[in-house]
A and B are shown apart, each in its own frame.
Chain A
Amino acid sequence: MITVSHILSRLLRSGQRRSAQAEQSIHHLQVQADLSEELHVNVELLRNIYADCSDIIFHEFVIGGRTRAVLIYIDGLINVEEIDRHVLAPLQRDNLDEHSLSNIRRTIPVTSITTVKTPVDAIEAISNGRPVLLVEKEPQGLSFGLSEWEKRAIEEPTSESVLKGPREGFIESIRTNTALLRRKVRSPNLKIRMIRKGNYTRTSIAIAYIDGIASPALVEEVMRRLQPIEIDGILESTYIEELIEDNPFSLFPQMLATERPDVAAAYLLEGCVVLLVDGSPSVRIAPITMYSLLQSPEDYYERYFIGSAIRWLRYLFFAISLLGPSLYVAILTFHQEMIPTPLLLTMARSREQIPFPALIEALLMETMFEALREAGARLPKQIGSAVSIVGALVIGQAAISAGIVSSPMVMVVAITGIASFMSPRFNIGITVRLLRFPMMFLAGFLGFLGVILGIIIILNHLLTLRSFGVPYLSPLAPMRNRDLKDVLIRVPTRMKAEYPHAPADRNHERQSSDLWSDSGNGDDST
C-alpha cells in the first residue's frame, strides 16, 4: 500500500509526466477501491497522497469520547467557524448510542452532506474545499458543503463598461457566475450542464443553454467537442475556446468573450450556448457571427435610432481601423491625382524632410503605437499614465519636429488607433490591428489594387469561416433578409419578433407577434 501511494504521490507531483498517465495510475492502482474499515489505513493512504502538502489539515478528534475520527480539509478553502460550530461542536458533545455514519449525518446541521466512498472521492471533495470526515470502523466518509474561500466582489467589468445598463460582471467563481445567469433567466428551461476538465486543475466547465430555444444539435455539438479534451490545466476560458473552435488557425475569434451576465443572457435568449469556466470571469458564447463582435450591449439599452447610428459609426471605424494607414499609403504613393491640389501641396510640404518612404513611415508609426499600447496596458496605472505621456510626446510632437515622421501620418495613426479601440470587443480589435500590417504592405506594393486584393483575401477567409456551423458573415453572406434587421440597424425591440439563426422546426417567435398592432392601438387610446 505504501509503495502504491508512494508511486501515486510521485506521479501526482511530477508535472513533467503526461497527465493522462497520472489519471490512469489513479484508476489502476486501486485507489478507486472502497475505503478501508480501518481508519488508520485510510488516513495513512491520504497522508501519503498529500505528502508535502502543508495546507492539508488532518484534524483528529474523538466523537463522543469513544470513536476516533479525522476531519480532513484544505486550510483556506473552508469556513473554519462553521466547521467548529456545526461539525466539531455537535459531534464532540455527542450523546449518540451508535456512531454510525447515518447517525452522524443526522446530527450535523449542514445542508449539503455527501457520502465519500473511495479515496478518489475523498480527494475530489477535499480539493473542492469540502471537508471530509472519516470515522473509525466505517468504510465510508462524509463531506460537508462548507467550502468558502476568498473571492472578488461582483463589480463592473472594466473591459466592457457601459454608460447605461447593468453594472455587474462575472467573477472567478463559477457558482457565482451561474447564479448571476440564473438571476437573469429564472426559467427552469435554463439548463446548466457541468463537466470537469484538466487533469491537474480539475476545472469545472458549465454549459448553459435554454432548452427550447437553443438547437439540440448545437448543444450536442458543443458537448461532442468538449468531451474528448484532455489537458493538464485550464486556467482561463481561452484554453477551452482554442480547443473547440472550428478553425484554430483563424485570426478571427469564433466565440464571443464577455464578462457581462446581461450579454450572456441575451445570447442565451437568442439560442446560443454559453460556456463558463471556473476561475475565469470571462465566459464564452457560441455560435457567433462577425457582427456580434461589433455590437455593444449598450446598443440595446439606448433608443434604437441612437443604437443604430452608433452601430454604423462603429462599422465605419472598424473599416478605418483596418484600412486607414493602407489607404493613406496607397493614396500618397500611388494616387496623388485623387488628392485635391491644396491638400496635396500641404502634404508634400510636410513630407519634404522625412527620410523614409511613406510605407516605412506608416509601419514604423503603427509598430510604435502598438508597442505603446502594450506597454501602457501591462504597467501599473501610475506608471501607465507616464508611459502614455512620454509616448504621446515621442510619437507626436517630438517625432514631427525632429523630421522623422510627418504630421498627417501621426494623424492617420492616431485616428486608426482610436478606431481600433472603438470595437466593443478587445479580441476583434487586436485582430484588425494585426491585419493592418499586411494590408499596408499590399498598399505599398500595388496601391488601391493591393488594398482591394487584400480585402478580397480577408473576405475569402471570413466567408469560409464558420462558428459552430453558422457562417461567420451570416446574415449578409449568405444573405438572409429576415436576420438583416439586427445587423444593419438596431431595430426597435417590439419588432424583434423572431430568433436569429433559429432552426426551422423550433418556435420562432420571441414575443407575441401582434404586440406591434396591440400596443399601437393602446397608444392611440391614451
Chain B
Amino acid sequence: MTRKVDAKLVIKRMKLAVRLILPVAMLTLSGCWDSTEVNDLAIITAVGIDRTEDQQLELTVKIYLISPSDIEGSNGMTGSGDTGSGQSVIRSVKGTSIADAASRLQQVLTRKVFWGQAEVFMFGADMARHGLDEVMDFLTRQPTIRERANVFISETSAKEVLALNPPIERSVSDALREMVNLQTCSGTSLMKLSQMMSGKSRAAIVPTVDIIEADYETPFPYISGIAIVKNGAMIDQIREEDTLGIMWLRDIIKPRKTITLEPGKHQYISVQLIRGHTSLIPSIEDDRWKITVRSESLVKIIENTTDRDYSIPDHLDQLEAELADHINRNINQAIDLAQQKWKADIYQFADVFHRAYPKIWARQKDRWEELFPKVEVKLETNVIIRRPGMTGKNIFKPGQR
C-alpha cells in the first residue's frame, strides 16, 4: 500500500550508523596519538654536532623561536644564542652518543622536538675527524629527517657557527643554504653523503664552513672550502681557492665560476664559465688502469687588462690553450692530492671502473685500496671561448694588439 518508510528499516539504518560512528567517536575522544599543534613544536632549523674534550658528543640545535617569553626559561642549558636580534635560540646538550644526546634534548625543551624542518647539519671539525659513521646512521634512520638537508663541516666548532645570526637571512640555516645554492660548488645533501660514504670508493667531500669576523659587522659564516672524508672520517680539508680541480673531476662545477690568468705582471685576463662538463672514461689494458678525464667548457671573457687584443682569432686560440693548461694543472694537482696524499677516491673512479668493467671489478674490488693510487690519468681538456663580452678590445688600453 503506502510506500511508507519502513520503521524497522529506519531503526536498522540508524543502528548501522551508530555502529559505524561510535567507534570512530570513541577513538577520537580517546586521543590523537600523533597530532601535535604547531605551537607545541620546537622547530629545529639547523643541527650542529661537536665532540667535546671529554669524548662526548654535543648536540646543538637552532630552534625557531616563536614566543619571546621562551627566552627566559633557560633551565640548566649550556648555551643560549644571541637572542637580541634574531628569532632563533640555540640549545645544546651532551651525550655519550647522538641518540643519547637527542633524547636529552627533549628533556631540556618545553616543546616537542621536531626534526622535519632541519635543513642544515653541521659537523664540528673535531667530530668529523673522529668519524661520522655513528651520527650518519642515526640521521638516516630517523623517519622525520630530510634526506635533502645540507651537510657541512665547520672549521671551528659547529656550535659557534649555529650561534651566529647572519644579518641578511632569517637564520644561519637559511644563509648557508642560500650560499650553497649560489656558490660555485654544489652542496652535499645528507643522502649524497651517505651514498658516497657507503659506495664503492668510501670517500666523500663535504663543504666546510668558517666564520668571517669583520669588525664593522656581526660575524657571519661562509663556505670556506672542501673537507675530504675517507672511510667515515675527515682526513683533510682544502681551501676554496684550491678546489677547482676537484670540482672539475667531480663534474660539479657550476656556471659563473671565474678563472683568472696572469700572463704578465699585473696583467689579468678573466673568463667566466658558461657551461662546463667533465666525463671520466675508464680503460683497463693488461692490468694498467687508466682514466681519461675529458672536460669541455664554454667560457666568456669578462676582464682583459693584458696587452693582447682577444678579438683576434689567433689570440683566442692561444688563450684557449692557456686556459686548458691552467685547468689541467688544477686537475693534476687534485689527482695528485687524492692519489698520493689522501689515498681517497673522492672522484669515484671506483664506480667508473665498475660500470665499464663489471667482471674485472668484481675480481679486483678488494684491491681497490692499492690500485687507486696507481690509476693513470690522462687529461683531454677543451676550452671554447664563446663571447668576448660587450666590448672587443679594451677601450681604455689602446695599445692592445
Q: Do A and B bind each other?
A: yes
Interface residues of A (CB under 8 A from B): 225, 228-230, 243-244, 248-249, 332-334, 336-337, 341-342, 344-345, 347-349, 351-352, 354, 357-359, 438, 441-442, 444-447, 457
**A352 to B3 Cα, complex, angstroms:** 57
Given contacts A332-B38, A341-B117, contact A249 B3 (CB under 8 A): no
The one of B2, B17, B24, B146 in contact with A228, judged by C-beta atoms closer than 8 angstroms, is B2
Chain B interface size, under 10 / 10 to 19 / 20 to 34 / 35 or more? 20 to 34
The one of B4, B13, B64 in contact with A348, judged by C-beta atoms closer than 8 angstroms, is B64
Assess the A447–B34 pair: CB atoms within 8 A: yes
Contacts of A341 in B (CB 8 A): 45, 117, 119
Contacts of A358 in B (CB 8 A): 37-38
Assess the A334–B117 pair: CB atoms within 8 A: no
- What is the CB-to-nearest-CB distance from B56 to chain A, in angstroms, rounded to a whole number? 29
Complex interface residues of chain B between 1 and 38 (CB less than 8 A to chain A) = 1-5, 10, 13, 17, 20-21, 24-25, 27-28, 32, 34-38
**A20 to B38 Cα, complex, angstroms:** 62
Q: A341-B45, A445-B32 are in contact. List 19 more A-B contacts (CB 8 A).
A: A228-B2, A228-B3, A248-B5, A333-B32, A333-B37, A334-B34, A336-B114, A342-B170, A345-B66, A348-B38, A348-B64, A351-B37, A357-B35, A359-B35, A444-B32, A444-B35, A445-B24, A445-B28, A447-B34
Assess the A243–B3 pair: CB atoms within 8 A: yes
**A304 to B144 Cα, complex, angstroms:** 47
Contacts of A354 in B (CB 8 A): 39
**A500 to B114 Cα, complex, angstroms:** 53
Assess the B37–A444 pair: CB atoms within 8 A: no
21 contacts between A and B (CB under 8 A): A225-B3, A228-B2, A249-B10, A249-B17, A333-B35, A333-B37, A334-B35, A336-B36, A336-B41, A336-B43, A344-B43, A345-B64, A348-B41, A351-B38, A354-B39, A359-B35, A444-B28, A444-B32, A445-B27, A445-B32, A446-B32
**A457 to B170 Cα, complex, angstroms:** 44
- What is the CB-to-nearest-CB distance from B87 to chain A, in angstroms, rounded to a whole number? 8
B116 interface residue per 8 A CB criterion = yes
Contacts of A344 in B (CB 8 A): 38, 43, 117
Assess the B67–A337 pair: CB atoms within 8 A: no
- What is the CB-to-nearest-CB distance from A329 to chain B, in angstroms, rounded to a whole number? 9
Contacts of B116 in A (CB 8 A): 336-337
**A446 to B17 Cα, complex, angstroms:** 20
- What is the CB-to-nearest-CB distance from A459 to chain B, in angstroms, rounded to a whole number? 15
Contacts of B41 in A (CB 8 A): 336, 348
- What is the CB-to-nearest-CB distance from B9 to chain A, in angstroms, rounded to a whole number? 9
Assess the A352–B28 pair: CB atoms within 8 A: no
Assess the B117–A230 pair: CB atoms within 8 A: no
Contacts of B37 in A (CB 8 A): 332-333, 351, 357-358
- What is the CB-to-nearest-CB distance from A71 to chain B, in angstroms, rounded to a whole number? 38
Assess the A442–B45 pair: CB atoms within 8 A: no
Contacts of B4 in A (CB 8 A): 230
The one of A333, A345, A441 in contact with B24, judged by C-beta atoms closer than 8 angstroms, is A441
**A249 to B2 Cα, complex, angstroms:** 18
Grouping DSSP codes into helix (H, G, I), strand (E, B) and loop, the A interface class, with mixed when no group exceeds half, is helix
Contacts of B114 in A (CB 8 A): 336
**A334 to B37 Cα, complex, angstroms:** 8
Question: CB-CB contacts of B30-74 with A at 8 A, as 1s and 0s?
Answer: 001011111101010100000000000000000010110000000
Assess the B144–A337 pair: CB atoms within 8 A: yes
Contacts of B36 in A (CB 8 A): 333-334, 336
Assess the A229–B2 pair: CB atoms within 8 A: yes
Closest residue on chain B to residue A329 by CB atoms: B35
**A341 to B10 Cα, complex, angstroms:** 51
Contacts of A228 in B (CB 8 A): 1-3
Contacts of A348 in B (CB 8 A): 38-39, 41, 43, 64, 66
Contacts of A446 in B (CB 8 A): 32
Assess the A351–B39 pair: CB atoms within 8 A: yes
Contacts of B24 in A (CB 8 A): 438, 441-442, 445
**A352 to B70 Cα, complex, angstroms:** 12
Contacts of B35 in A (CB 8 A): 333-334, 357, 359, 444-445, 447
- What is the CB-to-nearest-CB distance from A439 to chain B, in angstroms, rounded to a whole number? 11
Which 10 pairs show the lowest CB-CB distances between chains A and B?
A337-B116, A333-B35, A228-B3, A348-B38, A445-B28, A352-B66, A249-B13, A351-B39, A341-B117, A230-B2
**A243 to B3 Cα, complex, angstroms:** 7
**A302 to B37 Cα, complex, angstroms:** 46
Closest residue on chain A to residue B10 by CB atoms: A249
**A139 to B17 Cα, complex, angstroms:** 60
**A349 to B39 Cα, complex, angstroms:** 8
Contacts of B10 in A (CB 8 A): 249
- What is the CB-to-nearest-CB distance from A228 to chain B, in angstroms, rounded to a whole number? 5
**A354 to B5 Cα, complex, angstroms:** 47
Contacts of A445 in B (CB 8 A): 24, 27-28, 32, 35
Contacts of A349 in B (CB 8 A): 66
Closest residue on chain A to residue B177 by CB atoms: A341
The one of A244, A334, A352 in contact with B39, judged by C-beta atoms closer than 8 angstroms, is A352
- What is the CB-to-nearest-CB distance from A493 to chain B, in angstroms, rounded to a whole number? 39
Contacts of B28 in A (CB 8 A): 441, 444-445
Contacts of B144 in A (CB 8 A): 337
- What is the CB-to-nearest-CB distance from B327 to chain A, in angstroms, rounded to a whole number? 38
Closest residue on chain A to residue B68 by CB atoms: A352
**A347 to B66 Cα, complex, angstroms:** 10
**A244 to B5 Cα, complex, angstroms:** 10
**A523 to B175 Cα, complex, angstroms:** 62
**A230 to B117 Cα, complex, angstroms:** 65
Complex interface residues of chain B between 287 and 339 (CB less than 8 A to chain A) = none
**A438 to B20 Cα, complex, angstroms:** 12
Contacts of A333 in B (CB 8 A): 32, 35-38
**A229 to B17 Cα, complex, angstroms:** 27
Contacts of A359 in B (CB 8 A): 32, 35
- What is the CB-to-nearest-CB distance from B228 to chain A, in angstroms, rounded to a whole number? 30
**A345 to B21 Cα, complex, angstroms:** 36
**A249 to B13 Cα, complex, angstroms:** 8
- What is the CB-to-nearest-CB distance from B21 to chain A, in angstroms, rounded to a whole number? 8
**A347 to B37 Cα, complex, angstroms:** 11
**A248 to B41 Cα, complex, angstroms:** 46
**A341 to B3 Cα, complex, angstroms:** 60
- What is the CB-to-nearest-CB distance from B353 to chain A, in angstroms, rounded to a whole number? 39
**A229 to B28 Cα, complex, angstroms:** 42
Closest residue on chain A to residue B14 by CB atoms: A249
- What is the CB-to-nearest-CB distance from B111 to chain A, in angstroms, rounded to a whole number? 10
